């Protein structure tokens, strides 16, 4: 009887689809020697899909665009070697120095911040190093958690349901637009220039990287070492996400909460520069993409109304 209740007519296909995607994805990772320990957590989706009913199906359907982005982005690690010859190294550096060199006595701000953190043992430097790492790392959890709250609220409130849909549409537009730019116009982050100057990425120098010499802190070193794409600096999603959050929530929250989101965005932008992960122009490009994604989503919402 319990089995009959859990497995309703018409729901088998989505379960098979979820299980097939998980198995195929893990098999690809194993076959290409690109599997990571955290990838195995995907196996939890199998018993979840088998044991869940209509709510489980709705969960996978609602979150499918975001899941698709995370899976596609992770597989960029297989494509990265094909992009080495086209990675822009000199151009972003020169534009950043021309536009913002005044902030660091003619140097690139990210490089100046890295040099200070690498040479200073003061309490202030230690606090900045760990605070910046925590903030930089937070977007992996904060944005999904916020969207999850909206999804759960959508079970009781139609407004929360619509807000969740807006978030998914806007972030999907932003995310896949960024992936397209990564593939068309790959760009080196400032930490690459710290290590290799204007040298073009190759299989040899990529495999011999010593990231500890280009970025400060074990959290950021571990995160970048396992990143799927090292030359996806433009646009910066770390710079784009806080801007898109502000645009989507500006009429949904009170001024105090909005101020907290603004503060979060400012600290995120500062953290990316301090940790030598992005030029300021990368963050500005992220903001432009966020505004464009918000505008496109608004046009979609108005046409659907």
Do 288 and 157 contact (CB within 8 A), yes or no?
no
Kindly report, residue by residue over 39-98, the tens digit of the pLDDT: 999 999 888 888 887 888 888 999 999 999 999 999 999 999 999 999 999 999 999 999
Do 238 and 275 contact (CB within 8 A), yes or no?
no
Q: How far apart are CA 204 and CA 213, in angstroms?
A: 18
Domain segments of the chain as ranges: 1-82, 87-304
Backbone angles phi, psi at 26, to 5 degrees: -65, -35
Of the pLDDT bands very low, low, confident and very high (cuts 50, 70, 90), residue 11 is low
% the chain with pLDDT above 90: 71
Do 74 and 53 contact (CB within 8 A), yes or no?
no
Q: How far apart are CA 288 and CA 294, in angstroms?
A: 10
Q: Distances in Å between the alpha carbon of 270 and those of 2, 93, 264, 295?
A: 53, 18, 10, 26
Please report the sign of the dihedral spanned by the C-alpha atoms of residue 34, residue 70, residue 264, residue 277: positive
Residue matched to tokens 């018993």: 47
Query: What would the two tokens of residue 194 be?
Result: 């710290």
Kindly report, residue by residue over 239-248, the tens digit of the pLDDT: 999 999 999 9
Do 293 and 173 contact (CB within 8 A), yes or no?
yes
Do 146 and 170 contact (CB within 8 A), yes or no?
no
Closest Cα to residue 240, out of 290, 175, 281?
A: 290
Kindly report, residue by residue over 219-237, the tens digit of the pLDDT: 898 888 888 899 999 999 9
DSSP state of 85: G
Q: How far apart are CA 216 and CA 211, in angstroms?
A: 9
At residue 48, the pLDDT reads 87
At residue 133, the pLDDT reads 95
Alpha helices in the chain (DSSP H): 2-6, 12-31, 45-51, 54-74, 76-79, 90-100, 109-119, 123-153, 158-184, 190-196, 203-207, 218-225, 237-249, 255-274, 280-304
Kindly report, residue by residue over 16-26, the tens digit of the pLDDT: 889 999 999 99
Do 185 and 273 contact (CB within 8 A), yes or no?
no
Kindly report, residue by residue over 131-179, the tens digit of the pLDDT: 999 999 998 899 999 999 999 998 888 988 999 999 999 999 999 999 9
Residue 7 has pLDDT above 50, yes or no: no
Beta bridge partners of 232: 187
Residues 6 or more apart whose Cβ sits within 8 Å of residue 96:
108, 109, 110, 190, 279, 280, 281
**Predicted model pTM:** 0.91
Query: What would the two tokens of residue 226 be?
Result: 């396992």
Closest Cα to residue 177, out of 79, 78, 69?
A: 69
Of the pLDDT bands very low, low, confident and very high (cuts 50, 70, 90), residue 207 is confident
At residue 239, the pLDDT reads 96
Query: Contacts by 79-82 with C-beta closer than 8 Å and gap 24+?
Result: 79/183, 79/229, 80/228, 80/229, 80/230, 80/231, 81/203, 81/206
């Amino acid at each position: 009887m319990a089995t009959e209740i859990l497995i309703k007519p018409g729901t088998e296909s989505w379960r098979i689809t979820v299980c097939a995607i998980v198995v195929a994805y893990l098999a690809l990772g194993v076959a290409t020697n690109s599997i990571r320990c955290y990838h195995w957590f995907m196996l939890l989706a199998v018993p979840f899909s088998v044991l869940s009913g209509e709510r489980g199906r709705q969960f996978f359907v609602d979150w499918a665009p975001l899941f698709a982005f995370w899976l596609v982005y992770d597989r960029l690690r297989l494509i990265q070697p094909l992009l080495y010859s086209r990675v822009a190294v000199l151009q972003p550096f020169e534009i950043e120095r021309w536009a913002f060199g005044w902030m660091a006595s003619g140097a690139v701000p990210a490089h100046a911040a890295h040099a200070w953190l690498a040479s200073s043992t003061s309490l202030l430097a230690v606090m900045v190093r760990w605070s910046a790492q925590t903030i930089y790392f937070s977007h992996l959890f904060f944005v999904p958690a916020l969207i999850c709250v909206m999804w759960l609220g959508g079970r009781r409130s139609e407004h929360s349901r619509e807000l969740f849909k807006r978030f998914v549409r806007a972030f999907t537009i932003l995310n896949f637009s960024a992936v397209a730019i990564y593939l068309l116009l790959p760009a080196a982050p400032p930490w690459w220039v710290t290590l290799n100057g204007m040298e073009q990425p190759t299989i040899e120098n990529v495999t011999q990287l010593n990231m500890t010499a280009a970025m400060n802190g074990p959290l950021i070193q571990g995160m970048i070492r396992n990143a799927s794409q090292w030359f996806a600096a433009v646009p910066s999603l770390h710079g784009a996400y806080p801007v898109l959050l502000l645009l989507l929530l500006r009429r949904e929250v009170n001024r105090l909460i909005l101020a907290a989101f603004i503060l979060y965005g400012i600290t995120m932008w500062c953290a990316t520069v301090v940790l030598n992960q992005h030029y300021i122009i990368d963050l500005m490009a992220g903001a432009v993409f966020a505004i464009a994604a918000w505008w496109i989503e608004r046009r979609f919402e108005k046409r659907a109304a």
